[in-house]
Structure 1
Amino acid sequence: MKLKLITSFLLGAALSITAFADVLTLKKDHPETYTVVKGDTLWDISAHFLNTPWLWPRLWQANSQIENPHLIYPGDVLTLIWVDGEPQLTRKQLKKMSPTPRLEEKGTPIPTIPLASISAFLSKDHVIDPELLKDAPRLLGDAISTPRFFEGDVFYGQGKFNKRKIYGIYRLSDDYLDPVTEEFLGSELTFIGHSQVSKNPNVSATDQVTPHDFLKSSREARQGDLILPIPEHESLPAYFLPQPVPVTTTGQIIAALNNAVAIGKWDIVVINRGKRENIRIGSMFSIMQSGPEIFAGEDKVEYREDANRFDQMATPDLTIPAERVGELMVFKVYDKVSIAMVMRSTDIMGAKYKIQGLEF
């Protein structure tokens, strides 16, 4: 009898959790006007008006006054209007009276998302197969066996280097494995800093080693670090257009990249889906929190998150449906993994949360 009651409860819960219809709905407390301030993003502005800020492009769609939403600047006043039943934002031009005309610097247009949060991951940090780095030159040290190096130091690199090029110092870090299949997905290649062939007259090169000036560092370099050319071809857009992903595309967060133990809004994560799953820059995913498993006995019902602790209960009777607790957007794509930013979270999260494609 109790099991029937639980089944009825779960069926009702499942029916109440319908697919997210991402219509352009306004927040109940939305403003009628908004003045853009320094540090705003298109996502932030849309979040003032919409329950679904990833639909921000539709706020500016077919709007003759804002032909390019990327060219919105601090100080601009945005006004909410309605066009064919759809809410849209229009920009009110502010005119200042002055006895003499003068040109004012508009400054930098606002980006889609906070670029400062992802700048370190745009063109420096990478995910790579370590086999490709077997013969890569390494940092050897200096004449007095210094183990660590900082900005302004001189160190020797293995082999010959181009005097006109800037090089990156990198370190192989964590390996990424698929949590389900245990497939090797790649290794994190962490950026340490920049170097170039030294101009110090007191050091000289040989056929085996070349002195380098450590130009700029984000952290200390060590003996054994890799010295690689900075990829000249790699450039990513400053603006990221959200892209829908089929809900049938599922995966998992496998790591947090900015040393976050508890993951929240604007944190950077790695997911186990990439180019081979047709993931693109801007791809949107829902972040899902798995529901607990339910073990129904004759006399009682037990909710357990870890079935392995109960050998006598090999399989659960029922599972509560997963709950959507946030969204993330991909901004860098590799073959088997992608790097994404958490755009919204209803609570503090950890790695290993499941993800599901977000259609809109």
Structure 2
Amino acid sequence: MDAPMKRLILVALISLTSSFAMADTLTLKPGHPDTYVVVKGDTLWDISAKFLNDPWRWPKLWNANPQIANPHLIYPGDRLTLVFIDGQPRLVVKPQVRKSPEGRVMPKGGAIPAVNLELIQPYLSQNRVVDDEWYAQQPMVLGGESPSRFHIERDVIYVQAELPVGMKVAAYEAGRIFTDKTTEETLGREVILTSSGRVVESGPISKIQISTNLRETRPGNRVLPIEDEALMSAYFMPKPADVADAYVLGTEKDIREVGKLDVVYISKGVNDGVEPGDVFAIHRDGETVVIDKNGTPEPSIDRSAYGNLMAKFGSDSAIKLPDVYHGNLMVFKVFDKVSMGLIMINNRPVRTDDKLSVPAETGLAGE
């Protein structure tokens, strides 16, 4: 190999190494504290937001700290101190201790979570996205012992299936059908929990006694087995998502715009490699400006009908501006082709069809 080629390879390797190093570097937030005392109600995300521009990178902030083998073992009263290890910022913990053999204070509430689980716990048990044809084949609620069309806690309902006595089941009502906006493929049907209960009598038409209800159960609802994941504690280790061409399918509340700590459905799921803890950056399509006959950029609010046609179908006079960053979301529940995410940061409102991409250092505070 000649000398010029060796120099070229060396430069490429140095550039590649530098790129990895920059991608792995934490950026501290301007005005960050040097210490912080954990209080009740804190989350790991909230604490990291005091130190980092991108709080979803909190595992990196604590990764090199031998005193925090499990970052979930941080308690109210612990004092966190910012130090530098090999030039990188790290948090170390100094647990609050009593001057007695009791040792470390263990508050009644326990260790602080990654995110506020109260925000997502209802969705872990209440919302699912399932195959529409499969849902239509599940046992159907026919009615109940009560003459009412709607059934609530302690009512007995009739279900068109032979189900084993004692089986725990849940009734769901049909929600929206989600489809891919490009391929028009059906991604799944949203189903919403109405009630849960146990089978009290088995037969061609089984009886189920409702033990808890979130909304009225009515004829036509379908009965599904209780999800195991709905009974498990949620644990999330945020990491950058590695999925292309994702976007916001819809808001959980089915309203036009949502913001921080709201829930959205996204267009990718288990089949695409999405996992709980994946973090996406949210962007809105940049505006297209049209250069008018005088050579002046014409924004959409001032555009003529002709200008709108030029912007829509493209022309030499139409220029697309960069996409606009709107925030970050973290996936907390995944289905085959759809996932649910919690908006953790939003600088601007989030809407259906907003683009999702691999998050990068934003240089924004994102409180």
For normalisation by structure 2, the TM-score amounts to: 0.82
Q: Which residue of 2 aligns with 1:339?
A: 340
- The answer to whether structure 1 residue 271 and structure 2 residue 266 are counterparts is yes
- From 231, 236, 239, the equivalent of 1:240 is 236
- Give the 3 Å change call, closer, same or farther, for CA 189–289 of structure 1 in structure 2: same
- The answer to whether structure 1 residue 284 and structure 2 residue 279 are counterparts is yes
SS of corresponding position for 2:159 = strand
- The answer to whether structure 1 residue 318 and structure 2 residue 314 are counterparts is no
- Give the 3 Å change call, closer, same or farther, for CA 329–101 of structure 1 in structure 2: closer
In the alignment, the residues of structure 2 paired with residue 42 and residue 306 of structure 1 have an alpha-carbon distance, to the nearest angstrom, of: 46
The amino acid of 2:217's aligned partner reads A
Q: Which residue of 2 aligns with 1:52?
A: 54
Q: Which shifted more, 222-231 or 294-303?
A: 294-303
Q: Which residue of 2 aligns with 1:11?
A: none
- The answer to whether structure 1 residue 356 and structure 2 residue 332 are counterparts is no
SS of corresponding position for 1:59 = helix
Q: Which residue of 2 aligns with 1:194?
A: 196
Contact 1:81 1:89 in 2 (8 A): yes
The amino acid of 1:263's aligned partner reads V
Higher helix share: 2
Contact 1:22 1:359 in 2 (8 A): no
Q: Which shifted more, 291-300 or 275-284?
A: 275-284
SS of corresponding position for 1:119 = helix
In the alignment, the residues of structure 2 paired with residue 58 and residue 182 of structure 1 have an alpha-carbon distance, to the nearest angstrom, of: 39
Contact 1:292 1:305 in 2 (8 A): no
Contact 2:282 2:354 in 1 (8 A): yes
In the alignment, the residues of structure 1 paired with residue 91 and residue 80 of structure 2 have an alpha-carbon distance, to the nearest angstrom, of: 6
The amino acid of 1:228's aligned partner reads L
The gaps in structure 1 that reach 5 residues or longer are 1-19, 199-204
- Give the 3 Å change call, closer, same or farther, for CA 101–228 of structure 1 in structure 2: closer
- Give the 3 Å change call, closer, same or farther, for CA 306–23 of structure 1 in structure 2: farther
- How far the C-alpha of 1:185 sits from its partner, in A, is 0.9
Give the aligned CA root-mean-square deviation in angstroms.
2.7
The amino acid of 2:219's aligned partner reads Q
In the alignment, the residues of structure 2 paired with residue 340 and residue 245 of structure 1 have an alpha-carbon distance, to the nearest angstrom, of: 12
- From 68, 76, 79, the equivalent of 1:77 is 79
- How far the C-alpha of 1:286 sits from its partner, in A, is 0.9
Q: Which residue of 2 aligns with 1:91?
A: 93
Q: Which shifted more, 330-339 or 228-237?
A: 228-237
In the alignment, the residues of structure 2 paired with residue 337 and residue 251 of structure 1 have an alpha-carbon distance, to the nearest angstrom, of: 10
- From 298, 301, 307, the equivalent of 2:293 is 298
The amino acid of 1:29's aligned partner reads G
Contact 1:263 1:351 in 2 (8 A): no
The amino acid of 2:298's aligned partner reads E
In the alignment, the residues of structure 2 paired with residue 164 and residue 143 of structure 1 have an alpha-carbon distance, to the nearest angstrom, of: 19
Q: Which shifted more, 34-43 or 136-145?
A: 136-145
Contact 2:143 2:219 in 1 (8 A): yes
SS of corresponding position for 1:49 = coil
Quick one: percent identity of the two aligned structures? 35
In the alignment, the residues of structure 2 paired with residue 305 and residue 276 of structure 1 have an alpha-carbon distance, to the nearest angstrom, of: 40
The amino acid of 1:54's aligned partner reads W
The amino acid of 1:243's aligned partner reads K
Encode CA deviations 1:140-198: one digit per residue, 9 max, x unaligned.
Answer: 11245311112222222223222222111111210001122222111101111211124
- How far the C-alpha of 1:357 sits from its partner, in A, is 1.9
The amino acid of 2:215's aligned partner reads R
The amino acid of 1:251's aligned partner reads A
- How far the C-alpha of 1:49 sits from its partner, in A, is 0.7
Contact 1:293 1:305 in 2 (8 A): no
Q: Which residue of 2 aligns with 1:116?
A: 118
SS of corresponding position for 2:134 = helix
In the alignment, the residues of structure 2 paired with residue 312 and residue 207 of structure 1 have an alpha-carbon distance, to the nearest angstrom, of: 63
The number of residues matched between the two structures is: 333
The gaps in structure 2 that reach 5 residues or longer are 1-21, 362-367
- Give the 3 Å change call, closer, same or farther, for CA 42–190 of structure 1 in structure 2: same
- The answer to whether structure 1 residue 182 and structure 2 residue 184 are counterparts is yes
- From 226, 230, 243, the equivalent of 2:226 is 230
In the alignment, the residues of structure 2 paired with residue 57 and residue 305 of structure 1 have an alpha-carbon distance, to the nearest angstrom, of: 44
In the alignment, the residues of structure 2 paired with residue 337 and residue 43 of structure 1 have an alpha-carbon distance, to the nearest angstrom, of: 24
Contact 2:250 2:352 in 1 (8 A): yes
Q: Which residue of 1 aligns with 2:45?
A: 43
